[in-house]
Chain A
Amino acid sequence: KAGVTQTPRYLIKTRGQQVTLSCSPISGHRSVSWYQQTPGQGLQFLFEYFSETQRNKGNFPGRFSGRQFSNSRSEMNVSTLELGDSALYLCASSLEGRPPNIQYFGAGTRLSVL
């Protein structure tokens, strides 16, 4: 069974631009969660999507948004990029999304904002 796939693996953008990251969950998984990982803040929860609906949201500004498609694939969008948005963005999928369902992580997309 294929794991969680995130594309692209690396991105370089400049301040003010916007970016879209993609996540394909494990086949059959309906929940996709997004996290931001930085050396200073660690792993921070962005949001979770389940059956095309945002079910839970972390404490991030509205510049961070996402969506989920009917095939459970998810995209995350960051508008008006800031230098502080440079991070590793991870997505994780799980069967149903409620604990204690195991979350499986992708390798992440490393975003650098110049």
Chain B
Amino acid sequence: GENVEQHPSTLSVQEGDSAVIKCTYSDSASNYFPWYKQELGKGPQLIIDIRSNVGEKKDQRIAVTLNKTAKHFSLHITETQPEDSAVYFCAASPYNNDMRFGAGTRLTVKP
């Protein structure tokens, strides 16, 4: 089955700096890669996703890149703000919707 590794496990940045979180996956059949943000006491919320036929996707301050050959994808947050502080999860899903999540990255943005 799919195995997703996520790094780093914790990340601390100054407000205004950029943050990058990286994930690798093992199953070449995976074709959908969402990123979720989980705030305290809440369920994960989708913030951006990318499909295997796309190399990069951007939504305002958030961007995701995918390298299918190397089986890795990354989340980039620019101009970070304190409200970006949360736990971020990457995930990979093959055709059968058996979504596998990374272990999570706790991002802290210091004002």
Contact = CB atoms under 8 A, between A and B. Distances in A.
Interface of A: 4, 31, 33, 35, 42-45, 48, 55-56, 58-59, 90, 92, 94, 97-108
Contacts of A105: 36, 43-45
Interface string B20-60: 00000000000110101000011111100101000000000
Interface in B78-108: 89, 91, 93-104
Contacts, number: 65
A53 B56 CA distance: 35
B74 to A, nearest CB: 18
A98 B97 contact: yes
19 contacts: A33-B99, A35-B101, A42-B101, A42-B104, A43-B101, A48-B98, A55-B96, A55-B97, A58-B98, A98-B97, A99-B32, A99-B93, A99-B94, A99-B99, A100-B32, A100-B51, A103-B34, A103-B46, A107-B43
B50 to A, nearest CB: 9
B43 A106 contact: yes
User: Which has the most chain B C-beta neighbours within 10 Å: A31, A94, A100?
Assistant: A100
Nearest to B50: A100
Nearest to A90: B43
A43 B51 contact: no
A90 B44 contact: yes
A48 B42 contact: no
Contacts of A55: 96-97
Contacts of B96: 55-56
A45 B98 contact: yes
Nearest to A101: B97
A103 to B, nearest CB: 7
A110 to B, nearest CB: 9
Given A42-B101, A48-B97, A99-B97, A107 B32 contact: no
